[in-house]
Chains A and B, each alone.
Chain A
């Protein structure tokens, strides 16, 4: 069975726990949590991940900066990124997608939708 490693970069413990709950329904998934953009960058550059869920508004380093830095890294260019944020304006969505995010979801999120997107991007 193929294992999938997913990084959740989110400053809210509630959201981290909720997303973790949803993603654990995928068989063979391993979840790693990061509490801000800097923590996320450290983890994503030091280990392999198949996908990242990234919040935008976070302390230390925001999600947009993190996406920009991830896409600058040659080895991480293909890693799918799903943004999950409270920012619902169209320009925020466009900015995130232009920086290299693959999908953009606004809070409050439905677990089923997150699962469907993750499965689609991981092709499982």
Chain B
């Protein structure tokens, strides 16, 4: 967060410097205008005097022509500088939009990560995973699978859009989901609008290091969700790591709680 704040302050300083340059340019123009007014008054006076003398008149004419040429050249310089400033302004505006988008994407990733690690209750973690996939990605039908290490099968543990019981357990290494988990790679299917019921549109393997924990499978998207964005891909990667860690941590916490209760019960029994 502080790095991002620093970046934003840096950008703000750049904008401020740009506006200062604009103000300086305006001040220069105002001064030049005043100088030209004085010069004009002087020329008018000389012109009145020259009306009496033809030689003076010619000299004055030449001076004026030189002055006009100099002013034309200055005008071209000024226009060039103005064009450069406008271009700089446009590029700052584009960069600002890019930073805004990056900022929004980072906020999404931060919130997803924050929420995933906000609890050690397994059901709560699963609810948060489902919530992230629905609200931030836009999935309509999805299932979260957890690997049962005794049977080596991926068992459905949370679902949305369809009853959890309608999702069959998947042996590790079999089908789209089982293979994705076995290989540890996110699997996408090309034809988003017509998914068949069996295979998911996207399968995100959940792994902690090389250890497979489970998978998140997206079977259908919300009607308004037409395609995946770069942010979705970032979210899939984040979920693959952070959801796995959160689920494993919650599973271990649950096991340790149960063991602790058993041991406490045993100690109470022995000490009575």
Contacts and interface: CB of A to CB of B under 8 A. Distances in A.
Interface of A: 12-15, 17-18, 21-22, 86, 88-89, 106-108, 110-112
Contacts of B108: 18, 111
B223 A89 contact: yes
A85 to B, nearest CB: 10
A88 B224 CA distance: 6
A12 B160 CA distance: 14
B137 interface: yes
B115 A108 contact: no
A108 B107 contact: no
A112 B135 contact: no
A106 B222 contact: yes
B188 interface: no
Nearest to A16: B111
Report which residue of B100, B114, B118, B222 has the largest number of chain A beta carbons within 10 angstroms of its beta carbon. B222
B128 interface: yes
A108 B101 contact: no
A108 B135 contact: yes
Nearest to A13: B115
A12 B137 CA distance: 14
Contact of A18 (B107, B134, B225): B107
B193 to A, nearest CB: 14
B1 to A, nearest CB: 11
Interface in B104-131: 104, 107-108, 110-112, 114-115, 118, 128, 131
Nearest to A18: B111
